[in-house]
Structure 1
Amino acid sequence: MVRIARVWAEHHEPDTIGIGEDRPRISWSFAGDDRNWEQICYEVEAKHDDGRLSSVTIESSQSRLVPWPFRPLSSRERVEVRVRVAGTANSRSDWSSPLVIEAGLLRSDDWSGCQLIEPSQPTETVPGKHRPVIFRRRLVLPEGAAAKRARLYITAHGIYEAHINGFRIGDQLLAPGWTSYQERLAYQTYEIEPQLLAGQENQIDVDVAEGWFCGSLAFLCKHNLYGSRIGLIALILVEMDDGTIVRTGTDAEWEWAHGPMVEAGLLDGVTYDAREGLSASTVWRTVQTGSDGCITRLTAPDGPPIRQTQELPVRAILTSPSGKTILDFGQNFVGWVRLRSVSGPAGTTIRFRHAEVLEDGEIGVRPLRSAKCLDTLIIDGAAPIPWEPKFTFHRFRYVEVDGWPAASPLTVEDVVGVVIHSDMRRTGHFRCSDPLLNRLHENIVWSMRGNFVGIPTDCPQRDERLGWTGDINMFADTVSFLFDVSGMLSSWMKDMMVEQNAANGVVPLVIPYILGDFGPGKSAEAMWGDVAVMLPWALYVVSGDIQLLQRHYQSMKDWLNAIPRSASGLWKQAGHKLADWLDPSAPADGPLQRHDRYVPRMRCLPGTCYDADSSRRGHTERPSGRASILQGTDCRPARRIRPRIYYSFRPPCMRYADGVRTRPPIQPPLDTRAANPRRRASLLTHPSAKSLQDLHRLRGDTIPWPRADQGGQVQRLLPHAAASGMPQLALSSYHGRDDCLGALGQHAARRPHQPRRHDQFQPLCPGRGGQLDASDHRRP
């Protein structure tokens, strides 16, 4: 018998409270063993707070993102929805379990009475470092009544963690996350009635650190990018069982003080001095109220929050050649370490330095560049305490521990690794008969999880951690198979449109954009900019979300119109183009030098290749029955340009470079379908492709395999090689223990597909002391 297994609204987790849609679309999935069963109609029932029932029956086979069949929700309105379906052979399912849907604050005037509050004194201890603060407010609920429903709506200029009466509120981490703050600032909604005490004084404490708002970000070491002050906006609404509503917002009645956190930076780590904990002698100061203009930018989240998802034990305790104690977790992951219990004399300072790899037996921190990745705990000498940092994250396998109290030697039971990432639902798995490929797949999953902490990033460990548009563009098909990323990426793409509009149609290299006038940051780049077209399409394919295409269609057209074109309609050859900007044959002390004299010429190919794909998806691919999206669009330019694109893949581009084989012409025409099947086969069998088994020696990111400093792109080649009857051509470039797959051990110092370089730990950037290599830089 068919049954409804799961019901959800939009791209939210089931029973999410505080959603931002007044007409949330409903989806459901099935379970059962009925063969050849099809849905014929469905019935949706809604139960409102006042007990009213509404029910609608619709003849449709649709079960994904069906339109909201009732009147729009108002702010804070709560309904319970359940679904049942009827199908072939007169079968009918039982009612699903009820889905709770609760709207958030849908209008800006819902925040009336709330102000942005900030410390009344500067918190910048040194330029670029803000000391975290604690905001406090006391609230007394009426006697003789209990809290029927209580909500905390909260966000910050920075990142926060809230407590009521000493109990932490919610399990979200690094909230409110990173968006284009100048346009959108997400708020979160929490259920707080269990923590409130009726008829008694309740204390609300909110820790706020600099986070992405005013902390130091990326390799340019910029800070105060969105503002120079930590701030808080919060609203508490308590509905008592006698009908009374208690409303408390952030205003001049709040206080602030410094607590035991001395420093908390996303890149550098946390310094926590337990001797400076809150006490009766703590000086509390009145807050200052800032501009309330940010209230108009508040928005409910679109995707899942960042959470702790797993704990990892210490696998071994090592001693380095210099005598340092190093914890080995046996697996690279993103998060931090938690101490189960630690005690010692007052003033004892314990330092935890994180790294992905060992270098000559010591932790290898040079790939981190300027990121310190150092957490420091100063003990107060009181009773043993558990401790873990917050308001930071690291990517690591090894942790160097310095200063652990000698009276209680460190054991593997004292420390646990905390894994964090955006808490997306797993949707896809892979397993085969080859253990190396299985290990490769697990590396991909771990790498992906570490790079999805609020936004899709390029790397989670060094001083970068930016939302590079080209990275997620190439990875979209894979990640949307592995996880439900529609909600998270829908949010990120809203910021993409914000930054694109500010750049006159050009999609910047990173989203949110913080690079200012840095190099090519806002120049048109093939593949990076093509995310405006290809990512919405990739998400539509897996989710069927037609509204997503409607919302981004103008963005697609703006990008295609912003591409610098020659008279032929193809990309202009002049100007800066990133393309495959790293040559793996370059010397270790000069990684940006090129030995391949054809690389500059081949930079034209990615633009042509992705122009074809973007033109096809942006102008000619019509979702079945959705032609209204393209109404009034002239598709003829896309049809005219396709033969020109194929013609551009010809000698001399199909020649070898000195000592390193370059094969951009083999795959791009296949991936863009610019060539017909006969020509696809001829390209695969072209004499210049006679050594396909060596393709792994030079793989580009854009043409067509990722450059040597990043993960592999076998999915770009495999479908088309398989369609041509030659899947071995794709696998041959990835299957070899001595090269690509030889790096699949959990300890690998390079990315899973990076060509083996014995000099990879030599200084790569003279005068910088850093590394372009990072073992989790790009997902395959």
Structure 2
Amino acid sequence: MLEVTKLRCEYLDNPLGLDVAHPRISWQLRSDRRGVVQSAYQIQVKEGSPEGDAIWDSGRVESEQSVHIALTELTIQPRTRYYYQVQAWDGQGACSGWSAPAYWESGLLQHSAWQAQWIGVPAGSGIAEEPCPYLRRTFQVSGAIQSARLYATALGVYELELNGQRVGDSYFTPGWTSYEHRLQYQTYDVTSLLQNGANAIGAVLGNGWYGGFLGWKDKKQLYGDQTALLVQLHVTYTDRREDVIVSDEQWKTAGSPILMSEIYHGETYDARLETPGWSLSSFNDSEWGNATAFSIDKSIIIAQENVPVQKAEALKPIALITTPKGETVLDFGQNMVGWVRFTVRGTAGQEVGLEHAEVLDHEGNFYTDNLRSAKQYVRYIIGSEQEETYEPRFTFQGFRYVKLSGFGDDVRLDDFTGVVLHSAMERTGHFACSDALVNQLQHNILWGQKGNFLDVPTDCPQRDERLGWTGDAQMFISTASFLMNVAPFFTKWLRDLKADQLDNGGVPFVIPDVLSKIDPASRHSSAAWGDAAVICPWTLYLSYGDTRILEEQYESMKAWIGYIRSQGVDPYLWNTGFHFGDWLGLDSKPDTYIGATDRDFIATAFYAYSTSLLVKTAKVLGKEEDASEYERLLGRIVEAFTEEFVTPSGRLSVPTQTANVLALMFGLVQGAARDRAVNKLLALLEESKTHLTTGFVGTPYLNLVLSENGHHDVACKLLFQTDYPSWLYQITKGATTIWEHWDGIKEDGSFWSRDMNSFNHYAYGSIGDWLYRYVAGIQADEAGPGYKQFLVRPHVSPGLTWAEARMESMYGEIGSSWRQLEGGTLEVKVTVPPNTNASVLLPDARTEGLLESGSPAINAEGVRLAETTDQGVRLVLGSGQYHFTYPISS
């Protein structure tokens, strides 16, 4: 049996509102046989309905390709639904038959398609002092509706209602982009919300990132001081007529019960000001004022690119605490990001408050000093004697604990729910092992990603920052791509990076770039931070086989290398400018955040690494002249690095853990110099009693380098440390997410600092990459990006008796697990999805005694013996599920 499943268009399941000239189609194959490889495919596209004749047919295409097939021959029309089906053939000639139809729907496609006007609250109306105004209008529907699509965006953030019903399930729309250059719009199918006759559409606007506070200098309105709305509703009737309802000066506006809403500070809601039915056609808006139209550029408007922020799950509090200070505090048991939905009973005018925090102090009291100026406070004013339920709209908090005020003594846990919000990325990765603390570490890494992947990859979700730091993003992107499908998420963010990149190729510290708005003289272009311009696109290519992201970002990648090359006197060393260095390295001098590794060493190392990735990118894109040019540049950088930082005897002149890790990871030392770097790293670890001293720059690569250079046992010893500094130390202190500092909470219960101490900071969660790639053994292969070809190399790890991982690739599920059985037998299970193959190294195996499902492995279907080495037996596996057992060699 051969079946085509999981059809996707631009990574998405039946997306609405794509503004992509040549959409890309992907699918997976399902088969009950081993060794299945697609030999051909056929795609048919139909317009408007899955029935009828195809408007485009690829015919039978002899190809193994089943991901990212661009429909270059199809001319896309605006606001049109396209259904597509796929059938495939395997190498034995079996045909799948046609898949179930899937679809995508195009958006407006052209800026000229916007008939609507930007509207908002008129200045001087009094409403403008309210940050969250209502806007509404009524309209008529006359006839049977075939379909209705609503297109909307805002300066600020918006929510829409239609006939009293919320439109869509997305939050913080239109999302955070480089607003001067790019502003997303969203598309909604509202067919079911309309009714024949009178209808009403309503909107509420908030400051969001556009007009609200951003950064730590109490600055707001960094993009503009006027929130505004743009809405266009197309109603298509069964008789082919069409009505278009647009935002214009016919709309009415009034204040809302949301008196204050800020991402950092929370929300104030006065239920006494509610106007029931305000988005219904029957509502009397005669006392509302008229909206004002604004002349605002529409040429920057683009369709939604990232997956939207949505409610992901709900948590109930696990305890109600009375602190030593007498505070009433809810404990949700998990450091999370979102808000609290609550039910309250009281009297009109009574105020209740919810203050949010990540931790309690060492005495057990509510602690908010690490939030700096962020208030994270929700204030609710009760509107009646009846039971009322509320949740915020345009703010989010990072918290585990919530301090209650005004609720009285009768607090019921059932009245409170923690609503988890993040970008709606598909969960793709799962890792588990025999050690409970390591499993908790994996949990913490995942929740760090949930909490910080809210439309942009933020550094932290709680204090007055929450910015898209480039360094954190590039350090974690490989781990992130195991855990979730982050391709649309980072595609959108990288387009903002390209938009905000300086004319000279420099890259701001944060994307979108707001630091230059807070301080026009702000620095930019730190090594390892700006390198996100190169590292992130390449990682997406490896993880998803996406060449389009390389094509889109290629000039940005080149510009970054060009920027580095233009710095200083020597074009092959980077020894000028400001750098964060090995940020928060434990070998730093007192009163500084920067580790001991020389910053020009780090800068030049990353210069070489990014240039090497640019060489690979140029080759993938067929840019041979560029590839040759950058290969020559890379050679000169390595020569300069060697002359500057490697002594004639082959010793690195910078004797730190991070320096040796980077030199090894980036291939900057070879032969005897490489051996010396490995031995020096081991000596440094022995000096620190197998504890790390690395910071943001060295930590992501430390365990990878140890395992890759034959010292997996040392890497495991590092992992299993439970005293400071270590990954598991945090867990012994109750962490449920990754901390910013190894000792965010010290042994005595005191805190590392008050001003920079996030307890949800994902950078050190990059250890997850090593757990998947080395402990479980799933590794991408540049020869077959996107896991078309991949490596399985499990490492039997001291301290563990079993480990397993699985991940959903573009081709289907990949799995790798190992388990030590009684009698010195090792069990290894491998899952290879159809249309891929895997090179599998079974550690310490010999062909004698190697069984697959109880029979000699080398005779098993789908198995080919590649080689026998001192490390074990290497096999090449076609698709299928495999169960190996063998005695472990002594």
Common fold by TM > 0.5: yes
Partner of 1:64, secondary structure, is: coil
The superposition leaves residues 682-714 of structure 1 with CA deviations (integer Å, 9 ceiling, x where unpaired) of 311138536166453521222x12xxxxxxx2x
SS of the equivalent of 1:547 reads helix
Q: Do the aligned residues in 1 keep the contact of 2:76 with 2:106 (CA within 8 Å)?
A: yes
Within-5 A mapping of 1:135-150 = 135-142=135-142, 145-150=143-148
The one-letter code of the counterpart of 1:665 is A
Secondary structure at the counterpart of residue 733 of structure 1: helix
Which residue is 1:513 aligned to?
513
Match of 1:709 in 2: none
Partner letter of residue 15 of structure 1? N
Mapping of residues 620-631 of structure 1, within 5 Å: 620=616, 623=619, 626-627=622-623, 630=626
Distance (whole Å) between structure 2 residues aligned to residue 524 and residue 477 of structure 1: 22
Q: Could you tell me which residue of structure 2 aligns to residue 710 of structure 1?
A: none
Deviation at 1:679, TM superposition (A): 3.5
Once the two structures are TM-superposed, the CA of residue 71 in structure 1 deviates from its matched residue by 1.9
2:712 corresponds to 1:727:
yes
Tell me whether 1:65 sits opposite 2:68 in the alignment.
yes
**Preserved CA contact (<8 Å) 1:326 1:400:** yes
Aligned to 1:555: 556
1:9 alignment partner in structure 2: 9
Match of residue 152 from structure 1: 150
The 5 Å alignment of 1:188-587 reads 188-198=186-196, 200-278=197-275, 283-293=287-297, 295-339=298-342, 341-359=343-361, 360-406=363-409, 409-500=410-501, 502-516=502-516, 518=519, 521-563=522-564, 564-582=566-584, 584=586
Distance 2:509 2:453 in 1: 17
CA deviation after TM superposition for structure 1 residue 366, in Å: 0.5
Query: Which deviates the most, 18-27 or 732-741?
Result: 732-741
**1:125, distance to aligned residue in structure 2 (A):** 9.2
Is the CA contact (8 Å cut-off) linking 2:47 and 2:82 kept in structure 1? Answer: yes
| Alpha-carbon shift at residue 752 of structure 1 (Å) | 4.9
| C-alpha displacement of 1:732 | 2.7
2:640 aligned to which of 638, 644, 656: 644
In the superposition, relative to structure 1, how do residues 750 and 160 fare at CA in structure 2: closer, same or farther (>3 Å)? closer
The secondary structure found in structure 1 opposite 2:70 is coil
Structure-to-structure mapping, 1:595-606, within 5 angstroms: 599=596, 602-606=598-602
Aligned pair partner of 2:703 in 718, 722, 725 = 718
Query: How far 1:520 moved relative to its partner?
Result: 7.7
Contact 2:616–2:627, Cα closer than 8 Å, also in 1: no
Query: How far did residue 663 of structure 1 move?
Result: 2.2
Corresponding residue for 1:87? 90
Q: 1:692 to 1:488 in 2, by over 3 A?
A: farther
Range that drifts further, 460-469 or 280-289: 280-289
User: CA RMSD, aligned part only?
Assistant: 2.6
Separation (CA, whole Å) in 1 of partners of 2:231 and 2:736: 44
1:323-356 deviations in Å (ceiling 9; x for gaps): 11100010111001111x3221111111000000
Structure-1 separation of matches of 2:285 and 2:186 = 32
Name the CA distance, whole Å, in 2 between partners of 1:655 and 1:573: 14
How has the CA–CA distance of structure 1 residues 750 and 164 changed in structure 2, closer, same or farther, with 3 Å as cutoff? closer
**Contact 2:551/2:621, CA 8 A, preserved across alignment:** no
Q: CA deviation at 1:312?
A: 0.5
Which of the numbers 156, 159, 179 marks the counterpart of 1:161? 159
Work out whether 1:758 is the aligned partner of 2:758: no
Partner of 1:671: 665
Q: Secondary structure at the match of 2:694?
A: coil
Counterparts of 1:423 and 1:762 in 2: how far apart (Å)? 36
In 2: Cα distance, 1:117 partner to 1:455 partner: 27
Query: Would you say the 8 A contact 1:122–1:229 is kept in 2?
Result: no
Q: Percent identity?
A: 31
- 8 Å CA contact 1:6–1:96 kept in 2: the answer is no
Name the counterpart of 2:814: none
Contact 1:692 1:729 in 2 (8 A): no
Matched to 2:713, the amino acid is: Q
Closer, same or farther: CA 515–81 of 1 in aligned 2, 3 Å: same
Distance across 2 between alignment mates of 1:391 and 1:760: 38
Instruction: Describe the superposition over 1:639-664 as per-residue Cα deviations: whole angstroms up to 9, x where unpaired.
Output: 222233244444796566xxxxx423
Contact 1:118 1:231 in 2 (8 A): yes
Paired with 2:733 and 2:308, the residues of 1 have a C-alpha distance of 27
Amino acid at match of 2:295: S
Aligned partners of 2:121 and 2:127 also within 8 Å: no
Residue of structure 1 in register with 2:830 after alignment: none
Task: Note if contact 1:332-1:746 (Cα within 8 Å) is conserved in structure 2.
Answer: no
Q: Secondary structure at the match of 1:558?
A: helix
Distance 2:592 2:620 in 1: 46
Q: Check conservation: 1:80, 1:101, Cα contact below 8 A.
A: yes
User: In structure 2, the residue corresponding to 1:328 is in which secondary structure?
Assistant: strand
| CA deviation profile, 1:702-747 (whole Å, cap 9, x unmatched) | 2x12xxxxxxx2xx13333222211123233332122321211583
Distance 1:123 1:63 in 2: 57
In the TM superposition, residue 292 of structure 1 has moved relative to its aligned partner by 3.5
The superposition leaves residues 251-305 of structure 1 with CA deviations (integer Å, 9 ceiling, x where unpaired) of 1101111111111100000100000111668841111111141x11110112210
Gaps of 5+ in 2: 277-283, 766-890
Alignment match, 1:778: 762
Deviates more, 1:508-517 or 1:449-458: 508-517
Q: Distance in 1 between matches of 2:679 and 2:505?
A: 39
Q: 1:171 aligns with which of 151, 169, 172?
A: 169
Report the Cα offset of residue 462 of structure 1.
Answer: 0.5
- For the Cα contact (< 8 Å) 1:467–1:510, is it kept in 2? yes
Q: Distance in 1 between matches of 2:667 and 2:205?
A: 51
Aligned amino acid, residue 667 of structure 1: V
2:27 corresponds to which letter in structure 1?
A: W
Structure 1 unaligned segments of length 5 or more: list them: 657-661, 706-712
1:684 aligns with 2:678: yes
Kindly indicate whether the alpha-carbon contact (under 8 Å) linking 2:216 and 2:465 is maintained by their aligned counterparts in 1: yes
Secondary structure of the structure 2 residue equivalent to 1:17: coil
CA contact (8 A) 1:123 1:130 kept: no
Deviations 1:13-50 (A, max 9, x none): 21111011122010111223311111000010112127
Check conservation: 2:158, 2:173, Cα contact below 8 A: yes
Judging changes above 3 Å, is the alpha-carbon distance between structure 1 residues 677 and 64 closer, same or farther for their aligned structure 2 residues? farther
Question: 3-state DSSP class of the match of 2:660?
Answer: coil
The answer to whether the 8 Å contact 1:750/1:774 transfers is no
* Deviations, residues 539-581 of structure 1 (Å, cap 9, x unaligned): 0101111111111111111111111544443334343222134
Matched, 1:700 2:695: yes
- What TM-score does the superposition give when structure 1 sets the normalisation length? 0.90
For residues 153 and 629 of structure 1, the distance between their equivalents in structure 2, rounded to whole angstroms, comes to 44
SS in 2 for 1:664: helix
What number of residue pairs does the alignment pair up? 743
Q: Deviations over 1:28-77 (max 9, x none)?
A: 11223311111000010112127431322211100110121542211111
1:132–1:258 contact (8 Å) kept in structure 2: yes
* 1:133 correspondence with 2:120: no
Task: State the distance in 1 between where 2:513 and 2:618 align.
Answer: 31
Q: In 2, Cα distance between the equivalents of 1:634 and 1:349?
A: 64
Taking structure 1 as reference, are residues 482 and 68 closer, same or farther at Cα in structure 2, changes over 3 Å only?
A: same
Say whether the 8 Å CA contact 1:643–1:674 is kept in structure 2. no
User: Once the two structures are superposed, what CA deviation does each residue of 1:494-530 show, in whole Å capped at 9, x if it has no partner?
Assistant: 1101111x44210110001111264984433101111
- Aligned pair partner of 1:181 in 143, 162, 179: 179
SS in 2 for 1:242: coil
Matches of 1:123 and 1:654 in 2, distance apart?
67
Whole-angstrom CA distance in 2 between matches of 1:761 and 1:282? 60
Between 1:452-461 and 1:663-672, the stretch displaced more is: 663-672
